[in-house]
Structure formats: C-alpha cells, structure tokens
Structure 1
Amino acid sequence: MDITTPVGGRFVRQANRFTDRITADGAGGFPAEPGRYRLYVSYACPWAHRTLIVRHLLGLQDVIGVTVVDPIRDERGWRVPGGDPVTGAEFLSELYLATDPSFEGRYTVPCIWDTVTGRLVTNDFPHITTMLETEFTAHHREGAPDLYPVELRPEIDELNALIYDTVNNGVYKAGFAQAQDAYEEAVDALFATLDMLEERLSTRRYLMGGRLTEADVRLYPTLVRFDSVYHGHFKCNLRRLVDYPNLWAYTRDLYSLPAFHETTDFDHIKRHYYMTHPHINPTRIVPKGPILDWTEPHTRDRLD
C-alpha cells in the first residue's frame, strides 16, 4: 500500500515498478513452478489482501509461500518481524533495492520474489490475482473455483475498472485529498458506485450472479475495512456499510468463507491506518469500535 503526493489536491497513486509475469509456459523467464516464489503481504493492505484470498481459494498455500510484514510502517518502509525466512531481509526495501539499486519510490505490497533469480518479479497488484488464477491452474486444488472465467472476463474487467477507480482507490482519493473539491469529487463518485452495487446485489448473490469471481475478491477488501477505517479515518461518512442492507449482507456472506475471514485481520488493519498516517491522525490513537457482528446470518443463499 502506498501514499503519493497529491497533484492539485488530488491523490495520484504511485505507478508499479516491477511488471514481469509468471506464466504457465515460462515464456517470460518466470515459469509457474511450485516452491519457487514468495509473496510479501500486509494484512492491513487491501491490495495484498486480495492476493491472500485468491491463494487460499485456489489452494496455492503450498505452492507459493507468504511473508507477512508488520502493520506499522515508518520511514524505512515495511518491516519483516524476525527477518524474512527466505531472504533474511529485515525490511521489504532490501528486496526492492536488490532488484533495482536505483529505486527511489515507496516499497509496496503485495510483491513477489523469485528465489531462483534473486529478484522481485512483480509488484503490479492489479495483475497478481489474475496471474494466480490463469497461470497456476496446474497447481490449483481439486474443485477450485474458476474466478476469472473466459466468458465473463469482459464484464468482470469493466466492473473492476469502475470499482477500482471509485471504490478501491476512491477511498484513498477521499482520504488523501488536499483540496475540498477533490475530496467531494471522490466521495460523490464513491457513494454513487456503492448505491449502484447495492441495487445490483438486490437480485444476485455475487457481482456476476450465482458464482464467486475476481470481481468479488477485489470489492471485499474495501468493504470489510469500510466502517472500521474508511468511514471515519478517510472521511467517507455519507453512509456506513451497515446502512446498505444488500452490501452489508453480501460482505458477511463472503466473510463466512474461510478464504475471506481467515485472511481478515482487523487488529492489523486498524493499527496500520490509524498509526501510520500522522497527517490524518496525529495522536495515533486507535479507536475501539465499531462493534460489528460479522457472523449475523446473511440469507444471501436465497439468491442462488
């Protein structure tokens, strides 16, 4: 997760530096081999969260190892508690600089390290999950869901683009805005999309209908953080998630699945946001609430 300097008061996210691809046939030099790659994540980061969900859903836990960084990030970047068991790195920055000694940007998660070549392959978060879904199919568990079905990709991609711009990244546009008009523009777009999604989910269990897809994986990390962080900390307070009957039930439905709730860590989430953005929360006090019942029956299965 990264913060970049706003332009004209508007938040602009840092471009991803490493964009190589792991492929099933190894055409780009990085074949999809079990045990070769290491995924670096923060439980706090929504972009990293989606990679953990997909890794779990597809049964890739024994194929791609994971290192979880500390949720509190300082000027040195993400710290690896106890040191990384694979590379020995104490900070994620060491892996970035080992790959590109001239790198001067923020050291972001998620990213994937190749143990054979000793370098980062990618920190291109929009493509990491689809790469796991399409290039590691030989290693998926038996009965794993097809999260990115060919026939639905155009619709998934179109919806994902809107959700990324107005919801996933939209909360950051609001939270890191440094001008009133930039903030209001972001908040209005965010809630317009949430209103649309509330209506969409009134007649379908998941975003694409009766099947779980990449679109749900991308929306969930923002929704599950919404009332705990974005509503207050990022001033996205026109409405709460719990004020949307369908979106709230939909998020609880996803949370009931092991791949989602086992990768959701509210302690990491809240400590990261409230303790590493001093320009927003200079006291670094972490709020106790909200108290939400994530196990409340969702009744979404009636829409199947």
Structure 2
Amino acid sequence: MRGLGIGWRPEIAGVIAELRGLGFCEVIAESVNPSEPPPHLLVLGIPVVPHGISLSLGSVGPVDERRVTHLAACAEALGSPVVSEHIAFVRADGIEAGHLLPMPRTREALDVLSSNIIAAQKSLPVPLAVENVASVVDWADADYTESEFLTELVTRTGVHLVLDIANVYANARNKNRDPWDELRRIPRETVAYCHVAGGSERDGFYHDTHTDPVPDAVLELVRALAENGLPALMLERDGNYPPAHELYDELDAIADAARLPRVTPFDRTPR
C-alpha cells in the first residue's frame, strides 16, 4: 500500500470522489455484496482493502469458514492487494458481543490467535493484515506487552499488521503510559498500512470513537513515525460526518504530518 487513504463509507462517497491522488480505500467487508460491489467504489480506480469486523480471530475454536469465504470473495471482487481484520474476539460460546473485544496478552491466547490466523490465511487469495484494537482496561496477568505480543504474533504466523496509531494512543493514555514507547517497538517492517482516527474524553477515559476529529496528540505521533519513513496510512471516520471542507482539512492535516502529498481539491472555496 502507498500514500494517503480513507475509509470508504456510502455517506461520504461523493466527498471521496472529489479527492485526487488518493492512494487507497478501505471498506467494511461485511457491508459488501461480492456479487454487486458498490459501483461508486469501483470507479475510483485505486486499491480497495476489505476490512473485516466479525471474523473473531481471537475466539477459542476454529474460525468461521463462511466468514473467511466472504472475506476472500470480497478480495476477488474488488481486486484487493490485501485484506484485514482485528486482533480481537467478538463472540464466545455462541454469544455475540457486538464489539471488538481486546484479547488477553497471554501465551494461551497467542496460541489460539496464531492458529486461527494461520487457518484463515490458507483460505485467502491475498495476504492478511491484522489490526491492534483500543481498550479501556487490560486483562490481568499479561505475559507480553502490546508490542511484544504483536512481534511474537508476526514471527509465528507471518501475518502483516494494520498499525492503528490512534488505538496505541488511546491505550497508552488510558493506562498512563507513553504511546511512543510502544510504537517504536512494533515491528514496522511488517506493517501493511496505518489507521488514524479521532476520539473523545468521557468518564475519565479516552474513547476511540471514529466520530471525532483526529487530535493533535495523534498527529504528533504520525509526525514522529514519519521521520523514519511511514507506511501508507488512512483516515477512519464512521459517523458524525462533518461538512466536506472539514473532512478535507482533516485529510490535509494527516498528509502534512505524514509528509505525504495532499489529496484534497485544489479549487476549494476559501472560508
């Protein structure tokens, strides 16, 4: 992946269509019918990454082959160079959580996750990348730090990473840690692309909402990473969509922080 991307959503399809030089888009795989992919997405003429949210790679037991098949079909229909999912579980004993739940960073959990990733990779036509998730609290008795867990996972499975910079920031802030300490230890050579998103403070915790602007603290982390070369990265926005000019300003801020060319229209009306 290369350049600056954005999470494609139907609500902002028209805004995205106005961008020039966009590197790639990411689409929620569960929202795609592989037999009839969104035409507004296909005409962009850029790489499209199906991003799964329901595979539950961290669940005990085998992965759901129907969900893997759907992810594979999305990749085929969209001509995707990679597909992505999360380092999380969303169900246990048949009960759906409706949320991406963080995994305990234990040897047993790593065994389960590694096994499921290896199984999923065998059924996918393109490489798999997995994303670190945000959490408010940690499980007890962790055997690894977050960066150690990711490094061992990559070593065992050969999987790529989707490095969510905003999630690293959220986790560090909620646990009174330095986000840069974790970021600089993550094996960056395995990162397929990065996520950047906004959040907000609520009840004493920072929540990764995807409905708020990207904070300056996250942009500072992007700048720091860019000093040594940064993989492709993209803006995630999943609701509370702002006016087009505000979304363009946010994309410009990310591009500038990452030292990437801007992709917004040059003829925007000054405000």
Q: TM-score, normalised by structure 2?
A: 0.32
Q: Which has the higher helix share?
A: 1
Q: Which has the larger radius of gyration?
A: 1
